[in-house]
Chains A and B, each alone.
Chain A
Amino acid sequence: MFKKSTLLLLVALMLLVMLPLSSVSAQNPDCEGDVTLTYWHHWGGNRIPLQEQQVAAFEDAHPGICVDNVFLPWDNRLQNLLAAIAAGNPPDVTMFGRHDLPFFAATESIIPLDDYMAADGVDPAIFHPSEFAGTQFNGKTWLLPLPGGGAFAIAWYNVDHFAEAGIESFPETWDEMLEVAEALTIGDGSFLERVGFNANSVTGFPFLAWLNANGQTWISDDLRTITINNEAGMETLEFMQAMTDINYGIEELNAFWEMSGEFDQGPLIQGLVSIESNGSWTLFQLEDHAETLNYDVAPIPYGPSGSADRRGGAHGGWGYMIPKNAAHPDEAWKLVKWLTTEVEGQGACWFIQQQQRPSPLVECNGYEKDGVEHPRAQAILGVAALDYLVPVAPVQPEANQILNRMLEDVLFGDSAIADALAAAEAEIQALLDSFWEEYG
């Protein structure tokens, strides 16, 4: 019926079709080496060519080591990594969320870097303290940071709106912020035309950001005890509730926010909000899409239990690590070092400067591209200097959901603030206890 060769061809074709094609891999064909490192990252878009240049520079500086440079999408990053580690075939180096660190470190699925750092004289002091602190778990260093995890909660505001409302300076305290936001909000009492400020839209985890600005760390240093059910926590939720009330309640505010989704249609750019709390990357969105916008930056205000020198929170961010069972850990360390500590050539500093964003390296000004400093650089760095480390819990993703549920309970009026705080603290504490019982 069929010739054997035809049958073999059909089977081969079927197998080819079944091969998964889920990533984009780039390997320098000119590189010759005994070792080929597999490197996973999530730098998409216009950062892909920057990554290729950076990796090529590493190969030039480290003869004998080649790099298979694999771009993976952000979505499913954890599934990919967990599956690779479980299968015993992880990459040699991978980009990694600092907020994902505790679980991977507790299960020793990644390699501590302290011995490598000591051997090569990499001093933790080369990093900003709040950035390096996010790399620690159980007293060990598990990854090195890049890019900067701070400058998450910067207040970007429309100077013209302030002038129209007769407001001369950016508010320093929450009470002042409430007054300013009310003056800037436009609407008829039930339908918002413009939002002065939305406290629920702070990048990352709004409650944690405001609690931090109110001088309270949400979890103990040993990451075993939740500390939100207290005076500072009450004040934080009261502030968020008061700000939501200024915006005609949570339903109208959320409905308003639906119309501002994409970066290039952001509410600040559209003139739909007067103050927006967002990360340092907002600078480039504004430059790309709102050339004529008259704006300025300021630190977010602090609460009644807080202080002027503690505003934004450094919570999470990125880094680079070496998974357990990596095929070439020693060479992998060289790549991690290049990607995170190298201030010369096309190393860590160059990569950040090309994107003009905060650098975790003290010696590197991320806003100085090709020797020219961005005009907004000092203002943003000044705000970032007031960042304080917001620790990551070992059960952070589930804790975030619980905190968001707590916030909704309060804002929808389904729960009193004290009850919501107590319930959330108890629920997260139970998760933490369970985690430490198993992994402690």
Chain B
Amino acid sequence: MAQAFGAQLGALRGRRRTRWRDLSPMRKREAKFGLLFITPWIIGVLLFALFPFVASFLLSFTKYNIVAPPKWVGLEHYVHMFTDDPLFVKSLRNTAVYVGGSVVIRIVLGFALALLLNTKVRFLGLWRTLFYLPSVVPIVALSVIWLYVLNARAGLLNSLLYAIGLPRIRWFADPDFAMIAFLIMSTTWVGVTMVIFLAGLQGIPEEYYDAAKIDGANVFQRLRRVTIPLMTPTIYLNVLINIIGAFQVFTQIFIMTGGRPRDATRTYVLHLFDHAFQYLPPQMGYSSALAWILFIIIFVFTAVIVATSQRWVFYQGGETG
């Protein structure tokens, strides 16, 4: 998928722009219909993406309580969050822990599962479906299920720990374990990562493995020297998707702990949400400022990964990212 995306990008770069007047009547007619059919999408993007994007930027310099016009306050919100909002730092730290933990878990576990499910085992379709299935379950239902699984007294996980002689853990009652509980829960979506890895694995030509075998490479050497280098475009894609998603973690935490205990699970988006929709007066301006800082953080992370990808992402045929 990642390789196909790169190839398409290259083809587009090489294509010359065609002028409207050079088009045949048939092509013009098709183009008009094409534009007509994407009009709802364009309207949607303008109304629901571009307009809020610009509006939130402007609102971040104002005090805005929804019922009264915004009042310009300049950089006040940005100064406040860095100097006078301890929950800003705490929620950012919690989010960083979640991003670091969940991205590593999903990449490593997703890759391992994809490797296993790329072999010729019985009921392959069933296994793939089973691992992917949790990803399509609504997050509210998942949250309720995980509350039972991680229940301190009667939960499945603690029962397993007890069975092997380990002490029970008060997952959501202990500030030291509450975020770990959410990291465990993040394995729920490993199926998505796994499917993308599977697609990448199936794009690796068999001849490479045959050549490596003839050269005497064992399983681990083939994994290290063939599979992983050729999977770097897919790893790159998965890392980007997971980092962007993990920074925005909200729903399960909102439902399951609301940021407790001791704000140990208060993530950045939860903090932002509280200011916008939980507090009175609503602090839309401050929330917008928080949202823009999050956007910048995600943008910087993405830019760094994209910029460094040339060093560690390898495409078949010798190209680098």
Interfacial residues, chain A to chain B (CB-CB below 8 A): 1-2, 7, 14, 18, 76, 78-79, 82-83, 85-86, 100, 102-104, 107, 109, 250-256, 258-259, 261, 394-398, 401, 404-405, 408, 412, 414, 435, 438-439
Q: List 30 A-B contacts (CB under 8 A).
A: A1-B30, A14-B40, A18-B40, A78-B277, A78-B282, A79-B277, A82-B67, A83-B66, A85-B67, A86-B66, A100-B280, A102-B280, A107-B67, A109-B67, A251-B170, A252-B170, A255-B170, A255-B172, A255-B173, A256-B153, A258-B172, A261-B147, A397-B278, A398-B274, A398-B278, A401-B274, A408-B260, A412-B262, A414-B262, A439-B281
Taking A258-B153, A405-B263 as given, write out 20 further A-B residue pairs in contact, using a Cβ cutoff of 8 Å, ordered by the A residue number.
A1-B30, A2-B33, A85-B66, A86-B67, A100-B280, A103-B281, A107-B65, A109-B67, A251-B261, A253-B173, A254-B173, A255-B153, A258-B151, A259-B153, A397-B279, A397-B280, A398-B280, A408-B262, A412-B261, A438-B281
Chain B positions 41 through 69: 1 when the CB is less than 8 Å from some CB of chain A, otherwise 0:
00000000000000000000001011110
* Given contacts A82-B66, A82-B282, A1 and B152 within 8 Å (CB-CB): no
B213 at the interface (CB under 8 A from A): no
Interface size on B, residues (CB 8 A): 31
CA distance A280 to B278 in the complex (A): 26
CA distance A86 to B277 in the complex (A): 15
CA distance A37 to B280 in the complex (A): 27
Chain B residues touching A, majority SS: loop
CA distance A253 to B153 in the complex (A): 11
Chain A residues touching B, majority SS: helix
Q: In angstroms, how far is the closest chain A Cβ from the Cβ of B171?
A: 8
Once the chains bind, are B154 and A259 in contact (CB under 8 Å)? yes
The A/B interface has a contact count, at CB < 8 Å, of 89
Once the chains bind, are A408 and B147 in contact (CB under 8 Å)? no
Q: In angstroms, how far is the closest chain B Cβ from the Cβ of A106?
A: 8
Chain B positions 151 through 163: 1 when the CB is less than 8 Å from some CB of chain A, otherwise 0:
1111000000000
CA distance A254 to B36 in the complex (A): 57
Closest to A323 in B: B67
Once the chains bind, are A252 and B173 in contact (CB under 8 Å)? yes
B29 at the interface (CB under 8 A from A): yes
Chain B positions 236 through 248: 1 when the CB is less than 8 Å from some CB of chain A, otherwise 0:
0000000000000
- On chain B, the residues within 8 Å of A395 by CB distance are 279-281
Find residues 274-290 in chain B having any chain A CB closer than 8 Å to their own CB.
Answer: 274, 277-282
- On chain B, the residues within 8 Å of A250 by CB distance are 173, 261
B175 at the interface (CB under 8 A from A): yes
* Given contacts A408-B261, A412-B175, A435 and B281 within 8 Å (CB-CB): yes
- On chain A, the residues within 8 Å of B68 by CB distance are 107
B174 at the interface (CB under 8 A from A): yes
Most buried by A among B147, B151, B152, B172: B152
CA distance A397 to B66 in the complex (A): 17
- On chain B, the residues within 8 Å of A261 by CB distance are 147
- On chain B, the residues within 8 Å of A397 by CB distance are 278-280
- On chain A, the residues within 8 Å of B282 by CB distance are 78, 82
- On chain A, the residues within 8 Å of B63 by CB distance are 438
Once the chains bind, are A396 and B153 in contact (CB under 8 Å)? no
Once the chains bind, are B277 and A251 in contact (CB under 8 Å)? no
CA distance A250 to B173 in the complex (A): 8
Once the chains bind, are B274 and A251 in contact (CB under 8 Å)? no
CA distance A259 to B158 in the complex (A): 13
Find residues 132-185 in chain B having any chain A CB closer than 8 Å to their own CB.
Answer: 147, 151-154, 170, 172-175
CA distance A85 to B154 in the complex (A): 47
Q: In angstroms, how far is the closest chain B Cβ from the Cβ of A142?
A: 14
CA distance A103 to B282 in the complex (A): 9
- On chain B, the residues within 8 Å of A435 by CB distance are 281
Find residues 259-305 in chain B having any chain A CB closer than 8 Å to their own CB.
Answer: 260-263, 274, 277-282
